[in-house]
C-alpha cells in the first residue's frame, strides 16, 4: 500500500516495494565501486557479412562480474546507470577497452581484412560535453583508426534534443568513425528526420527478425526497412538472427550484415579470438 489508510496521512510501502528500493540502492552503491574494482567486462558478439559469411567485426557488450550476484546482464544495470549518470564512466571505460582490444587483434592478425568494433553509446554519453575530445583521445591512445570504430546510437537517444543530436553526430562523423542507428523500428523517427541523420547503417531490431521466416508481415516490414536504407545509401545490419531460414531471407533481401546466436552469442575476448582464427581458416578453404 502506497498510501496510509484513513486519516493517518503517513505513507506505508509494502514489503515488496521496500525490498526493491533497497536492492536498487545496493546495486547503485556497488556500481560506484565496480569500476575501481575492475568488475566490468567487455563481451564480443561477431557481426558477419551475409553474402559470404565472413567475419567483419564485433559488437562490444558490457557485463558486470558481481562478486556475489555473478554475471549481471546490461538490462539489469544500464537503465540505472543512465539515471544516476554512471553510464558516462562505464561507457568511457567500454570505449577504451573495446578500442584497445580491437587494435590488439588487428596487430595479431595483420593479414586478414581489418575488423571493426561497435560500441553502444547512450543518450547521456552522446550529450556529454566531453564526448568528442574523449573519443579522439581514446583513438589516439589505442592507435585504432577511426574508420574501424562504429558507434551504435538509438533513436530514443536523439529525441530529447534532435537538433543538438544531429550536430553532434555530424561532428562525430568528421572524425571519420561510423555511426549505426541501433534497435531500428522500435522508435519514432520520421522519414525526413532519418534522411538528415549522418548515419552509415541501420540495425534492424531483433523483434522484427525473430518471426520473419514465419510471418509475412514481419518479412515485409524488414524488406521495407532494407529498401528504405538502400534508397538513402545506408547499409543494413540485422540483429537476433538465430535460424538458417532467417539468414536465407536476409540474403534474398540484400541485407549486408547479420548478428545473432546463429553465429555466436556474445563471448569473452579470449573466445572471440578463436572466432577470428576460425574465420581465417574458413576463408582460406573457400579460396
Ligand atoms: P543492443 O545494443 O541491441 O545489443 C544486442 C543485444 O541482443 C545483446 O544483448 C545481445 O546479446 C542480444 N542478442 C544478439 N543476438 C541475439 C539472438 O540471436 N537472440 C537473442 N535472444 N538475443 C540476441 P545484451 O548483451 O544483453 O545487451 C542488451 C542491451 O544493453 C544492448 O542492446 C544495449 O542497448 C545495452 N548495452 C550493452 N552494452 C552496453 C554498453 O557498453 N553501453 C551502453 N550504453 N549500452 C549497452
Ligand atoms: Mg547495439
Ligand atoms: Mg541493437
Ligand atoms: Mg536490440
Residue 1 reports pLDDT greater than 50:
no
118 phi/psi in degrees, rounded to 5 = -105, 135
End-to-end CA distance of the chain: 68
219: its cell numbers: 518479412
Question: Is any ligand 1 atom within 6 A of the Cβ of residue 120?
Answer: yes
Q: State whether the beta carbon of 182 lies less than 6 angstroms from ligand 1.
A: yes
- Smallest CA separation from ligand 1 atom 8, residue: 61
Per the listing, cell 509475412 goes with: 216
Between 158 and 164, name the one with better pLDDT. 164
Give the nearest ligand 1 atom to 266 CA: 11
Mean per-residue pLDDT of the chain = 91
**Smallest Cα–Cα separation from 109: which of 147, 57, 150?**
57
Residue 189, ligand 1, Cβ within 6 A = no
Range 195-200 contact pairs with CB under 8 angstroms and sequence separation of 24 or more: 195/232, 196/166, 197/158, 197/166, 197/169, 198/166, 198/169, 198/170, 198/173, 199/153, 199/169, 199/234, 200/150, 200/234, 200/235
Rounded to the nearest angstrom, the distance between the alpha carbon of 4 and the centre of ligand 1 is 41
Position 112 pLDDT exceeds 80: yes
Buried-exposed string 56-71: b where 16+ CB fall within 10 A, e elsewhere: bbbbbbbbbebeeeee
Cβ proximity of 201 and 255 under 8 Å: no
Question: How many other β-carbons are positioned within 10 Å of the β-carbon of residue 171?
Answer: 13
Residue 61 alpha carbon to ligand 1 centre in Å: 6
Going by C-alpha positions, the residue among 235, 152, 165 that lies closest to residue 200 is 235
240 lines ligand 1 (CB under 6 A): yes
**What pLDDT digit, counting tens, does each position of 169-208 carry?**
999 999 999 999 999 988 776 777 788 899 999 999 999 9
* pLDDT(3) > 50: no
CA angle 249, 241, 245 (to 5 degrees): 35
ipTM for the complex shown: 0.98
Cβ atoms 66, 39 nearer than 8 A = yes
> Which among 34, 64, 71, 120 is the best mutation to test ligand 1's pocket, defined by most ligand atoms within 8 Å of the CB?
120
The pTM of this model reads 0.93
Pocket-testing residue among 43, 72, 74, 131, ligand 1, by greatest number of atoms within 8 A of Cβ:
74
d(CA 95, CA 48): 21
Return the percentage of the chain with pLDDT > 70, whole number: 95
Amino acid at each position: 500500500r502506497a498510501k496510509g489508510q484513513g486519516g493517518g496521512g503517513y505513507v506505508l510501502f509494502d514489503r515488496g516495494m521496500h525490498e526493491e528500493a533497497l536492492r536498487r540502492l545496493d546495486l547503485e552503491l556497488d556500481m560506484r565501486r565496480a569500476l575501481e574494482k575492475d568488475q566490468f567486462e567487455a563481451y564480443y558478439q561477431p557481426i558477419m557479412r551475409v553474402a559470404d559469411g565472413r567475419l567483419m567485426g564485433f559488437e562490444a557488450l558490457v557485463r558486470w562480474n558481481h562478486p556475489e550476484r555473478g554475471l549481471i546482464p546490461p538490462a539489469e544495470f544500464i537503465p540505472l546507470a543512465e539515471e544516476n549518470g554512471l553510464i558516462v564512466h562505464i561507457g568511457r571505460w567500454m570505449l577504451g577497452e573495446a578500442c584497445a582490444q580491437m587494435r590488439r587483434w588487428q596487430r595479431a592478425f595483420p593479414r586478414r581484412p581489418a575488423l571493426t568494433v561497435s560500441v553502444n553509446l547512450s543518450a547521456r554519453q552522446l550529450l556529454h560535453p566531453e564526448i568528442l575530445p574523449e573519443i579522439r583521445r581514446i583513438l589516439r591512445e589505442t592507435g585504432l583508426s577511426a574508420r574501424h570504430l562504429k558507434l551504435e546510437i538509438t533513436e530514443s537517444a536523439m529525441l530529447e534534443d534532435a537538433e543538438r543530436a544531429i550536430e553532434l553526430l555530424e561532428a562525430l562523423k568528421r572524425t571519420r568513425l561510423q555511426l549505426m542507428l541501433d534497435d531500428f523500428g522500435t522508435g519514432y523517427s520520421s522519414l525526413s528526420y532519418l534522411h538528415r541523420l549522418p548515419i552509415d547503417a541501420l540495425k534492424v531490431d531483433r523483434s522484427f527478425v525473430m518471426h520473419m521466416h514465419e510471418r509475412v508481415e514481419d518479412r515485409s516490414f524488414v524488406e521495407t526497412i532494407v529498401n528504405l536504407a538502400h534508397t538513402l545509401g545506408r547499409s543494413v545490419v540485422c540483429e537476433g538472427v538465430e535460424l538458417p531460414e532467417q539468414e536465407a531471407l536476409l540474403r534474398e533481401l540484400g541485407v549486408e550484415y547479420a548478428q545473432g546466436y546463429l553465429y555466436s552469442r556474445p563471448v569473452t575476448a579470449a573466445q572471440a579470438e578463436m572466432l577470428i582464427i576460425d574465420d581465417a581458416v574458413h576463408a582460406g578453404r573457400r579460396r
